[in-house]
A and B are shown apart, each in its own frame.
Chain A
Amino acid sequence: MAFLGLLILCTIFVLSAPRAVTKIWRFAREQGTGALVIRVPLLRDVGWGAALAPVTASFLVLSGTFGITNVGGTGSGNLFNAKSIPGDLFYTTLVLAVMALYTLVRPRPAGYLAAAGLTGIGAWVLYQALVLPRSTYDYEWYGWLRDQLYLPELLLLGTAGLAGGFLLTRRTIVADVRARRYGLAAQVERLSRTRAEAVDSAAAELRRLERDLHDGAQARLVALGINLRTAEKLIDTSPGDAKALVADCREASAKALSELRGLVRGIYPPVLADRGLGDAIKALALDCPVLALTDIQLPGRPPAPVESAVYFAVAEVLNNAAKHAAATAIQIRVAHARGLLRVQVDDDGVGGADPASGTGLAGMERRLGAFDGILAVSSPVGGPTIVVIEVPCALSWPKTSTS
Chain B
Amino acid sequence: MRVVLAEDFYLLRAGLERLLAAHGFTVIAAVDNAADLLTALLEEKPDIAVVDVRLPPTFTDEGLRAAIEARRQLPGLPVLVLSQYVEQLYARELLADQGGAVGYLLKDRVFNDDQFTDAIRAVAGGGTVMDSEVIAKLMTRRQRDEPVTRLSAREREVLALMAEGRSNSAIAQRLFISDKAVGKHSTNIFAKLNLPPSEDDNRRVLAVLAYLNQ
Mark A residues whose CB is within 8 Å of B.
250, 253-254, 257-258, 261, 264-265, 270-271, 273-275, 279, 282-283, 286-291, 328, 402-403
Contacts and interface: CB of A to CB of B under 8 A. Distances in A.
Contact of B87 (A258, A271, A290, A403): A271
B88 A286 contact: yes
A403 B61 CA distance: 13
B141 interface: yes
A227 to B, nearest CB: 15
B152 interface: no
A275 B60 contact: yes
Interface in B88-124: 88-90, 92, 107-108, 111
Interface string B41-63: 00000000000011001001110
A253 B110 CA distance: 12
B194 interface: no
Nearest to A276: B60
A270 B106 CA distance: 14
A325 to B, nearest CB: 14
B12 interface: no
Contacts of B141: 286-289, 291
Given A286-B89, A328-B144, A403-B35, A274 B108 contact: no
B34 A274 contact: no
B62 A403 contact: yes
Given A270-B85, A271-B89, A288-B141, A402 B108 contact: no
Given A254-B111, A283-B87, A283-B88, A273 B60 contact: yes
Contacts of B107: 257
Nearest to A288: B141
A257 B111 CA distance: 11
Main secondary structure of the interface of B (DSSP, over half): helix
B154 to A, nearest CB: 22
Contacts of A273: 60
A283 B141 CA distance: 13
Given A250-B111, A403-B34, A403-B35, A261 B84 contact: yes
B57 A402 contact: yes
A289 B140 contact: yes
Contacts of A253: 111
Contacts of B35: 403
Nearest to A250: B111
A146 B54 CA distance: 96
B192 interface: no
Nearest to B93: A279
B73 interface: no
A257 B107 CA distance: 9
Given A254-B111, A261-B84, A261-B85, A274 B140 contact: no
Most buried by A among B60, B87, B137, B144: B87
B133 to A, nearest CB: 9
Contacts of B54: 270, 274
Nearest to A402: B57
Contact of A287 (B57, B84, B137): B137
A261 B88 CA distance: 16
B71 to A, nearest CB: 17
Contacts of B85: 261, 264-265, 270-271
A370 B34 CA distance: 38
B108 to A, nearest CB: 5
Contact of B89 (A265, A282, A291, A402): A282
Nearest to B137: A287
7 contacts: A253-B111, A258-B108, A275-B89, A283-B87, A286-B141, A287-B88, A403-B57
Contacts of A282: 89
Contact of B60 (A258, A265, A274, A402): A274
Nearest to B56: A403
Most buried by B among A264, A282, A287, A290: A287
A291 B142 CA distance: 9
